[in-house]
Amino acid sequence: MTAGTILVVDDDPQIRDVLRIALGRAGFTVTEAVDGATGLAAAAQTNPDLVVLDIGLPEMDGREVCRQLRRTSEVPVLFLTAEGDEIDRVVGLELGADDYVTKPFSPRELVARLRAILKRTRPEEASGRGPLKRGGLILDRERHVCTVMGAPVALTAREMELLSRLLDRPDHVLPRPRLVDLIYGTNVNVSDRTVDSHLRNLRSKLAEAGCDDAIETVHGVGIRMGPCLGG
């Protein structure tokens, strides 16, 4: 049984070869695209479980591909970025990407990150965990659905996991290092900018839905849920 279908969008044939071999050995089915337009068409046609997307694509870059993907799909996206391009990574996360890996990368790390994302996004992995509620906010992890005052809020896999961790213990303050460990694992290096991007996106989406008090920062301590009473 396949571990899932991964769409790789990268114009570098060597990168595609490395990913095809590594992902194939890990049990994934791999489809490939060499540019942004082909990648968007492949995503619509194959409905992949996850997209590995190079930011530095010619003509239509990865940021624009992600932007267009997010108009119609919440498929998880992992960006490939050049080493040192922090701005690209932050912008990618703000566009709705779930994670990123810098080039040159370890195939083993990339596969581990993909598996972690898929574990969070697949409904069967959340089986047995009922909906979480806080004020007017409801998070149904099994169905991957979030609503505020009955209105749906589209969250990426990483945002969903972040909100889920906060809702598990809504009255407790989670120190930032503990929050990072819970979401990314203890063996992954994650910068503060990455966490801040996900928090900023999550806050913005919940505020837009009418719940601008959903997440509170306790300065010098950590993050906790607000009352989520809405306006």
Do 88 and 156 share a structural domain?
no
Calculate what percentage of the chain has a pLDDT beyond 70: 87
From the list 182, 179, 169, 155, the residue with the least C-alpha distance to 225 is 169
Domain ranges, residue 78: 4-121
Do 95 and 16 share a structural domain?
yes
| CATH number where 38 lies | 3.40.50.2300
Do 29 and 10 share a structural domain?
yes
Q: What is the pTM of this model?
A: 0.61
pLDDT for 39: 95
From the list 57, 63, 45, 49, the residue with the least C-alpha distance to 15 is 57
Q: Give the model confidence (pLDDT) of 102-116 as tens digits.
A: 888 899 989 988 988
Do 97 and 198 share a structural domain?
no
- At residue 139, does pLDDT exceed 90? yes
pLDDT for 171: 82
- Mean pLDDT to the nearest integer, 37-66: 92
Report the domain count for the chain: 2
- Mean pLDDT to the nearest integer, 187-216: 83
